[in-house]
Structure 1
Amino acid sequence: MATFDAISHTIRCDILSKTHVADNLAMRKEVSRTFTFPTKEMYDYATLATLGDDVYFEPSTKALEDHVAQITGKQAGLFLPSGTASNQIALRTHLMQPPYSVLCDQRSHINLYEAGGAAFHSGAALTAVIPSNGHHLTLEDVQQHIVLGNNNHNAPTAVIALENTLRGTIFPQDEIIAISDYAHSQGIKMHLDGARIWHVAAQTETPLKELCDPFDSVHPSVLVLAGPTAFIDKARWMRKLFGGGMRQTGILAASAAYALTYNFPLLPAVHALARRLEKGLEEIGVEVTSRAETCMLFYDPTSIGTTFDEIADRASDLPEPLILGDARLVVHIQTSESAVDDLLSIIRQLAEEKQATGFVKHAAKRPKVQSEMYAQRETKK
Structure 2
Amino acid sequence: MPHTPYETLYIARNAADTFIPATAPSQYVASSASGPIDLTHPQGTSLSANTRAVAASIARPANPTLRNLHTTARLTMGEFDQYSAMGSKTVPNGIPSDGTAWGSEKNPAAFDLRSDVHTTPTMSMLRAIQQCTLLDDVFMEDPTTLSLERFIADLSGKEDGLLVLSGTMGNQVAFRAHLTCPPHAVIVDRRGHIVNYEAGGVATLSQAMVQSLDATNGTYLTLEDIQKYATLSEDVHSCPTRMISLENTLNGAIMPLSEVKRISAWARQHGIIMHLDGARLWEAVAAGAGSLKEYCAEFDSISLCISKGLGAPIGSLLVGTQAFIKRSRWIRKSIGGGLRQAGVVAAPMRVAIEETFLGGKLAQSHKNAKRVAKIWTDLGGKLQYPVDTNMVWLDLAAHQIEGNSFIELAEKYGVRTGSGRLVIHYQIGEEAIEALQKVFTELLTGKESAGKLAEAPHDPEDLKLKGKGVE
Q: Deviations over 1:212-263 (max 9, x none)?
A: 1010111122311001101110011101111111111212211111111111
Going from structure 1 to structure 2, the CA distance change for 1:341 and 1:232 (only over 3 Å counts) comes to same
1:36 maps to 119
Q: What per-residue deviation string (whole Å, max 9, x for no partner) do you get for residues 162-220 of structure 1?
A: 11101110001111111111101111110011011111111116321111101011112
Q: Give the counterpart letter for 2:133 in structure 1.
A: T
Q: Partner of 1:226: helix, strand, or coil? A: strand
Decide whether the 8 Å contact of 2:257 with 2:289 is kept in 1. Answer: no
- The CA deviation at 1:327 is 2.1
- Asked if the contact 1:273/1:331 (under 8 Å) is kept, the reply is yes
Amino acid at match of 1:257: R
CA–CA separation in structure 2 for the residues paired with 1:305 and 1:352: 13
Matched, 1:270 2:365: yes
3-state DSSP of counterpart to 2:384: strand
- The one-letter code matched in structure 1 to 2:391 is M
Post-superposition offset of 1:303:
3.2
Distance in 1, Cα, partners of 2:443 & 2:191: 31
Equivalent in 120, 127, 135 of residue 52 of structure 1 = 135
- Between 1:109-118 and 1:246-255, the stretch displaced more is 246-255
One-letter code aligned to 1:93: A
Distance 1:302 1:26 in 2: 38
- Which has the bigger relative contact order, CA under 8 A and spacing at least 6? 1
Match of 1:300 in 2: 395
Contact residue 392 and residue 422 of structure 2 kept, 8 A? yes
Deviation at 1:41, TM superposition (A): 2.3
| 2:38 aligned partner | none
Deviation, 1:124, is 0.2
Q: Does 1:130 align with 2:230?
A: no
**Count of matched residue pairs:** 339
Give the equivalent residue in structure 1 for 2:415: 322
Q: CA deviation at 1:302?
A: 3.5
**How much does 1:310 deviate?**
1.9
> Which shows bigger deviation, 166-175 or 23-32?
23-32
Match for residue 239 of structure 1? 332
TM-score (norm 1): 0.85
What is the one-letter code of the residue matched to 1:231? F
Q: Does 1:16 align with 2:89?
A: yes
In 2 relative to 1, CA 125–28 (structure 1 residues): closer, same or farther, beyond 3 Å?
farther
Partner of 1:335: 428
Residues 28, 39 of structure 1: 8 Å contact kept: no
Pick the aligned partner of 1:248 from 341, 347, 371. 341
Question: What amino acid maps onto 2:181 in structure 1?
Answer: Q
In structure 2, how many angstroms separate the alpha carbons of the residues matched to 1:131 and 1:27? Answer: 43
Flag as ranges the 4+ runs of structure 1 deviating above 4 A.
25-28
Compute the displacement of 1:60 (Å).
0.6
Q: Distance in 2 between matches of 1:342 and 1:238?
A: 46
Residues 132-152 of structure 1 deviation map (CA, whole Å, 9 limit, x = unaligned): 111111111111111112111
In 1: Cα distance, 2:137 partner to 2:433 partner = 41
Q: Which has the higher helix share?
A: 1
Match of 1:202 in 2: 286
Which residue of structure 2 aligns with residue 361 of structure 1?
A: none
Amino acid at match of 2:430: E
Residue 107 of structure 2 aligns to a residue whose secondary structure is helix
Aligned to 1:105: 189
2:135 match: secondary structure = coil
Residue number in structure 1 paired with 2:152: 68
Question: Shift of residue 30 of structure 1?
Answer: 2.0
Q: 1:311 deviation in Å?
A: 2.2
Give the aligned residue type for 1:44: R
Report the equivalent of 1:4: none
Distance 1:21 1:254 in 2: 27
Please state whether the residue corresponding to 1:300 is helix, strand or coil: coil
| CA distance 1:28–1:77, shift in 2 (3 Å) | farther
5+ residue gaps in structure 2? 1-87, 113-117, 307-315, 448-471
